Structure 1
Amino acid sequence: MRQTVHPSRERGAVLLVVLVFSIMATLLVVTNLKDNIVQERAAGNFQKQLNARYTAEQGMYESYNKIKAKLKTHPNSTVDILKGELPGRANGAIKGSHFETSNHRIPAPGLLMLASRGHHLEGAAGLNVAFALLGQPGNDIYKDAVVACDGLTLNGSGTIDSYDSSKGAYGDNNKGKNGDVATIRPDADVTLTGDAPIRGDVRATGNITTTGTSPISGNVHATKNVTIQGGAVASNRVGGNVMSGGNFNLDNGNVAGSVKANGNATLGGGASIMSNDLLYGGQGTFADSEDKKYLQPGYKGNPNVQEVATGTCDPIGMPGLVGKFTGASQSLTVSSTQILNLQPQTNSYDSHNGWKPPTLTSSNADILGHSGPVYRFDDLKVNSDGKLNISGGDVTLIVSGDFTLTGDAKVNIASDSSLTIVVKGKTELSGSKIFDSATVNGAGIRDNGKVSMSLFSAYNLKDGVILSGAANMYASIYAPLTDVKLTGSGDLLGSVRGKTVTASGAGAIHYDEALGLADLGDEHARPPVLALRDWLWL
C-alpha cells in the first residue's frame, strides 16, 4: 500500500535543514569575527610597538644632534658635559607618542652610552646606543689659502693655488685647486683688479668685484653683489658656480656653472652662462638677443642664496698670547758675515770682525699647547748677508718689538726643526734670500705636528706685516689684527691670515693643504666626533 507524505511535513524538513545551515554559517561568521578582532588587536599592538620604536629612534636622533651641536661650539666638552645636552622627555612626531632619553652608563673612558625609551599608547620600546668620543687631528684655522678679516685686494699677477707638502715640493705633479680665498667679518669685500688666477673658491661676506683678468676656477659666493667686469670676451671667468645674495653682473666672459642671485641679473654683450642655469629674484637685463630667454618665468624666482658664514678673526687670541710673556729681553742685530745658530736649549755664533752677540738664554713657556724653550728679544734684525740657522728641534722666538729681515739676510731651518716667531711690533721681510731653507722643497709639517715656519703677529696698527722679498719662502702667516701686504716677486708657500690682505706683487701664493693637520694645541683642535660603536633594541 502506497504511503502519502503530507506537503507540510516536507516543508518542515526543509526549514530544519535551512536552520541548521544558518546556525553553522552564523557560527562560522562569529568565529571569523573573533579571529578578525584578534588579528586587528594584534595588528594594532604591532603598530603601537612599531611607532614606539620610531619614537625611540627619534629620541636618539635628537640626542645625537644636540651632542654634535655642543661639540661644534664647545669642542673640549667632556662626556659628563655632553650628558647634560640630552633632551630628556619630549613628545614624539607621532600623535600620542613621547620619548625619554638618558645616559645609560659609561662602560669605559671616552664612551657615551645613551638610552632612549619610546612610547606610543600602550606600545613601548627601548634603544641603547654606545658612542665613542674621538679626537680629530689638525685644526680649523689653516683651512684657506688667504683669509682677510675685513677685506681682500688682489691686484698682482701671481697665481693662487694649492699643493700638499707631505707629498713633496710644489710642482707639476703636486698642484691643486684648493687655493680658496675668503673674508670672514660682516660686509668684507673681495676685490680682484689684477691678473692673478685663483685656482679655488672665492667667498666674501660683502661684495666680490673683479675688474681685471683674474679667472676663478672654483665657486664664487658673496653675501652681497657679484660683479665681473673686464677680461677677454671668450675667457672663462668662473669655472664653478656663482651664488650672490644681491645682484649679479657679468660684463663679458663665461661662467661654466650655474648662477643664483637673489637680486638683479645683468649679462653684457660678451657674457655667457655655459650651463644655461640661471635663477634670479629681481630684474633681468640681457644685451644679447639669445639671452632674452632668461626673461621667461622659468628663470625668475628668488633662489634664497644664503649669506656667507662669518667667523672670528682672531680665534687664537693674540693679545692674550703675547700678554703672558714678561721679563727681561734684549735687542739683537745679525749683520754682514755674522751667523747666529739657535737650538732649543743652546746657541752659538760665527762672526768676523770680532762680532759677539749678547748672551742668549732660553726659558720654558707654553705656546699653543706646546711647552718648550723660547728666546725673548726686544727687537730682532737680520740684515745684509747675516744668517740665522735653526736646528736641533723646535725653536720659538718672542719679539716684543720689530722683526726685520733685509738685504741678503737668510734664515735656514733644518729639516728636523721648526721656527715659531711671535711678534708684537712690525714685521718686514724684504730680503732676497729670506727663509731659503729645506721647507721650500720639504715637508711643511713636522712629525710632531709643528709647522716648519710660523709667524704670529700681535701688531694692532696699520701695515704690520710687509713681505717684499724676491726669494721663495715657506711660512704660515697669522696677523688678524693688522694689514698684510705682499708686494714681492717671490712665491709664498703656506697660508696668510690678516685683518686686510693686499697682494700686488708678482709672487704666487701656494696654499699648503697639509697645514690643516698642524697641531695648534687642544684649544684650537678640530672638534671631536661621535663614532657609533654598538646599538641594542630592548
Structure 2
Amino acid sequence: MSNKQGGFTLITVLILTSMASIVVLSSLRENIVQERLSGNFQKKLNSRLMAEKGVFEQAKLLQQTLNEEGVLAVEDLISKTSNASGSGVIADDAIFNASLSKNAAGELEIASLGQRFDGDAQSNLVARFAVQGAKGSSIFTNAMVGCKGVNLSGSGSIDSYDSSKGTYEETKSNDGDVSTIAGDSDVVLSGHSPIKGDVKATGVIYLNGSSPIIGNIHSNTGVYISPGSGLRVDGNVYTRGYYTHRGGTVSGVVRANGDATMQWSTFITNSQGEALDIMYGGSGDFKDTYNNQQDGVHYSDSKFNVNPNVEPITVADPAAPDYDPTNPDTSCDPLILPEKMTDITDQVSSYSSVSIGPTQQFKFNTEKGFFSSGGSQVILPSLADVFLFNSKAQNQANGSNSKEYIFALDRLKMTSDGKMEVSGGDVILLIDGDFSMEGDTSLTIKKDSSLTVLLTGKVNIGAGAKVITEQEGLTTSGHPSLSFYSSFNGVNGVQFSGAANLYAAIYAPLTTVKLSGSGELFGSVRGSTITATGGSGAHYDAGLLQVQNGGTPASSARIVFLGWSYKTAETTEEESEASPAE
C-alpha cells in the first residue's frame, strides 16, 4: 500500500514561482531605478554641455572685442563686451546664459547657466580667463632693456608686479626681465640683491654679484659666474659661447655651444631631473671630481661633450632681410622716435618756458597751464597729432577731438620747493629742451589723469625731488600715469637720483639712463645703456603690456583660459524632496 503525497509538488512549484517572481520584480525595480538615474545623469550632462556652450560663446565675443579694440584692461573688456549677448536657445528646452565679471584675483570670469527640459536640469559653470597683451604692441615689455648694455651694481632688487591687479605687495612676481638688443652688448650684474626674472644678452652675462638670478639666463657670447657660494642661478643657463663657473650653484641645467669650465665647489643640481646636467660643444675643464659629476659619471665624459641646440637671441640688424624696425624685441627704437618727434614739432609754431621756483605752484590740465600760487603765467595748449594717442584717444575735459591738446615748451625747470600738479585727463607736454626737478620739488599726478612728456633734451630728477602718482599704472584711457619719451642722442640723457620712489615708463633708446638714488623705480625703462647703482631697484609693471603705442604686434591680444569649476545649481526644498525623474 503506497503513501499519497498529494499537493506537495504543487506547493513546491508555487514557492519556487513566488521566489522567481520576487527576484524578477526586484530586478525590474532595480532596472527602473537605474533607468531613472541614467535619465537624471543624461539630463545633468546635457545641462552641463549647455553651460559650456555659454562659456564658449561668451569667450568668442570677448576675443572679437579684443580683435576690434586691441589690448584692454579687464574692466574695459567687460564693459565693451557686456552689450553683446552670451545667451542663446538651441531648442525649446535647451538654454544657456553667460555673464561676465572680475574676480578678487583680477581675473576675468565667465559664469554660465545651462538648462534642459524646462529647467528640470541645471548646471552652473564658472570659467577663469586672463587677458594676454599683443606681443610686440607694447614697447614696455621688460623691467630693463639696455639696447647696448646693462650694468647693475645697486642693492635694490629687480622683480615685477601688475598694477592692473593690485599693489606691488599684493601682486609681486618674478618677471623682472633684463635684456640687451644690439650685437655684443653685455649684461654686468655686480650688485647685492636678487634679479627676479630672466636675463638675456646678445653679449656676455657677467654674474659678479653675491645675489642670485631667479630665472633663466641666455647669452649669445658667454656666461661668467664669479667665485662665491650659495645659489647663483635659480634656473637654466643657455649660451652659444663659453661657460665659466667659478663658484656656487646653478639649480637647473647648463647648455653651452662653446668651452665649459667649472672650478672647485661648483654645483649643477638639475632640479627638473633632465637627462644631462650639462652639455657643451667645445672642450671641458672640470676641477671638482666629486661635485662635477652625475650618477657617478664625471662631466668630462663624452656623454656630456655634445653640442646642444641653443637658440640664438635675435640681434638688431637693420641689414637683415627680415628686420622689422618696429619690433621692440629686435629694435632699439621701435617707435622710430626722432622721426616722430620731428613730425610733432613741425606742427608747433611757438614755445613757452616754465620755471617753477620757491613757494610757486603750477597746475596743468588739458585746457590750460597756470600758476595757482606765486606767479601769473597762463599757457594754452595747441592742437597736434601725437602718434602715441592714435589707438588710445586723449582723455580731454571738454570732449574728443581728432587731434590732441599739447603744451609746447622749450624747457620746464623746477627748483627749491616748487610744486606742479596734473589733473583733468591726459596732459601732454612737448619740450624742445630739458625737464628738470631740483631741490625739494614735487610733481603730483591726480587719479584718472596722466602726464606724457615728449622731449628732445634731458630728464633730470634730483635727490630731493618727489613724484606722486595717485594711481599707478594705466589710466582709464589706457596711458601710463607718467611716461617720458626722449629723443636725446648723447650721454646721461635720463638721470634719476631721487630718494623717493618713482613710478614712470621711460623710453630713451638713444641715450644713457642712470639710476643712482636710494628710491626705487616702478614701471619700465628702455635706454641705450642702463646703469643702476646705490639702492635703486626696478619693479616692472606688467600692466604696461597693455599699452598700445605704435609697435608692430607679433601676435594679437587674446584671452587665455586659466581653469574652470562646476557649481551645483541651488534647489528649493520642494525640488530636493521630489522623486527621481522618470
Q: TM-score when scaled to structure 2?
A: 0.64
Query: How far is the alpha carbon of 1:448 from its aligned partner?
Result: 1.7
- Tell me: CA distance 1:139–1:434, structure 2 relative to 1, closer, same or farther (3 Å): farther
Separation of aligned partners in 1, 2:489 and 2:530: 14
Partner residue in 2 for 1:500: 529
CA contact (8 A) 2:502 2:521 kept: yes
SS in 2 for 1:166: coil
CA contact (8 A) 1:212 1:230 kept: no
From 385, 399, 403, give the equivalent of 1:365. 385
CA contact (8 A) 2:236 2:254 kept: yes
Query: How far is the alpha carbon of 1:287 from its aligned partner?
Result: 1.7
CA contact (8 A) 2:472 2:503 kept: no
Partner residue in 2 for 1:166: 164
Across the two proteins, how many residue pairs are aligned to each other? 390
Separation of aligned partners in 2, 1:216 and 1:168: 25
Separation of aligned partners in 2, 1:434 and 1:428: 12
Partner residue in 1 for 2:190: 193
Q: Does 1:335 align with 2:332?
A: no
Q: Does 1:274 align with 2:274?
A: no
Separation of aligned partners in 2, 1:282 and 1:525: 38
From 191, 194, 204, give the equivalent of 1:207. 204
- Tell me: CA distance 1:367–1:407, structure 2 relative to 1, closer, same or farther (3 Å): farther
CA contact (8 A) 2:438 2:465 kept: no
From 137, 140, 157, give the equivalent of 1:139. 137
Partner residue in 2 for 1:5: none
Separation of aligned partners in 1, 2:557 and 2:354: 46
Partner residue in 2 for 1:297: 302
Separation of aligned partners in 2, 1:499 and 1:204: 14
Query: How far is the alpha carbon of 1:197 from its aligned partner?
Result: 1.1
Separation of aligned partners in 1, 2:251 and 2:489: 41
Q: Does 1:387 align with 2:419?
A: yes
Partner residue in 2 for 1:44: none
- Give ranges in structure 2 of 5+ residues lacking alignment: 1-69, 71-131, 271-275, 316-329, 394-402, 560-582
Query: How far is the alpha carbon of 1:334 from its aligned partner?
Result: 0.7
Separation of aligned partners in 1, 2:172 and 2:557: 30
From 237, 246, 249, give the equivalent of 1:251. 246
The AA in structure 1 aligned to 2:178 is: V
Query: How far is the alpha carbon of 1:136 from its aligned partner?
Result: 4.7
Q: What is the aligned-residue RMSD (CA, Å)? A: 2.1
CA contact (8 A) 1:340 1:347 kept: yes
Q: Aligned ranges for residues 122-521 of structure 1 at < 5 Å?
A: 136=134, 139-171=137-169, 173-231=170-228, 233=229, 235-275=230-270, 277-290=277-290, 291=292, 293-310=298-315, 311-324=330-343, 325-326=345-346, 327-352=349-374, 355-357=375-377, 359-368=379-388, 369=390, 370=393, 371-438=403-470, 442-521=471-550
- Tell me: CA distance 1:135–1:412, structure 2 relative to 1, closer, same or farther (3 Å): closer
Separation of aligned partners in 2, 1:530 and 1:197: 32
Cα distance per residue 1:5-25 (max 9 Å; x no partner): xxxxxxxxxxxxxxxxxxxxx
Query: How far is the alpha carbon of 1:196 from its aligned partner?
Result: 3.1
CA contact (8 A) 2:143 2:160 kept: yes
- Tell me: CA distance 1:218–1:331, structure 2 relative to 1, closer, same or farther (3 Å): same
Residue identity over aligned pairs, in percent, reads 41
CA contact (8 A) 1:381 1:404 kept: yes
CA contact (8 A) 1:195 1:212 kept: yes
Separation of aligned partners in 2, 1:330 and 1:348: 12
Separation of aligned partners in 2, 1:384 and 1:480: 30
SS in 2 for 1:416: coil
CA contact (8 A) 1:248 1:264 kept: yes
Query: How far is the alpha carbon of 1:247 from its aligned partner?
Result: 0.8
CA contact (8 A) 2:381 2:405 kept: no
The AA in structure 1 aligned to 2:288 is: D
Separation of aligned partners in 1, 2:558 and 2:288: 54
- Tell me: CA distance 1:144–1:136, structure 2 relative to 1, closer, same or farther (3 Å): closer
Separation of aligned partners in 2, 1:426 and 1:153: 20
CA contact (8 A) 1:138 1:517 kept: no
Partner residue in 2 for 1:19: none
- Tell me: CA distance 1:421–1:526, structure 2 relative to 1, closer, same or farther (3 Å): farther
CA contact (8 A) 1:340 1:387 kept: yes
SS in 1 for 2:262: strand
Separation of aligned partners in 2, 1:399 and 1:505: 29
Deviates more, 1:321-330 or 1:455-464: 321-330
Partner residue in 2 for 1:49: none
Query: How far is the alpha carbon of 1:530 from its aligned partner?
Result: 10
Separation of aligned partners in 2, 1:201 and 1:480: 21
CA contact (8 A) 1:379 1:400 kept: yes
Partner residue in 1 for 2:57: none
Query: How far is the alpha carbon of 1:437 from its aligned partner?
Result: 2.6
Cα distance per residue 1:57-106 (max 9 Å; x no partner): xxxxxxxxxxxxxxxxxx9xxxxxxxxxxxxxxxxxxxxxxxxxxxxxxx
From 518, 525, 528, give the equivalent of 2:556. 528
CA contact (8 A) 2:238 2:254 kept: yes
CA contact (8 A) 2:522 2:541 kept: yes
Cα distance per residue 1:247-299 (max 9 Å; x no partner): 10111110000100011111111210011610011111112112251011211
SS in 1 for 2:303: helix
Query: Any runs of at least 4 consecutive aligned residues in structure 1 with deviations exceeding 6 A, and if so which?
Result: none
Separation of aligned partners in 2, 1:169 and 1:528: 27
Higher-Rg member (1/2): 1
SS in 1 for 2:211: coil
Query: How far is the alpha carbon of 1:406 from its aligned partner?
Result: 1.1
Separation of aligned partners in 1, 2:133 and 2:191: 42
Separation of aligned partners in 2, 1:317 and 1:419: 21
The AA in structure 1 aligned to 2:267 is: S
Partner residue in 2 for 1:131: none
Cα distance per residue 1:431-486 (max 9 Å; x no partner): 42421231xxx340112211111101110011111110111110000000001011
Separation of aligned partners in 1, 2:528 and 2:204: 17
Cα distance per residue 1:406-434 (max 9 Å; x no partner): 11111111111011001101111114242
SS in 2 for 1:336: coil
The AA in structure 2 aligned to 1:472 is: N
SS in 2 for 1:295: coil
CA contact (8 A) 1:410 1:431 kept: no
Query: How far is the alpha carbon of 1:346 from its aligned partner?
Result: 2.5
Separation of aligned partners in 1, 2:525 and 2:133: 26
Query: How far is the alpha carbon of 1:220 from its aligned partner?
Result: 0.4
Separation of aligned partners in 2, 1:170 and 1:517: 17
SS in 2 for 1:459: coil
Separation of aligned partners in 2, 1:266 and 1:135: 40
SS in 1 for 2:147: strand
Partner residue in 2 for 1:84: none
Query: How far is the alpha carbon of 1:524 from its aligned partner?
Result: 4.5
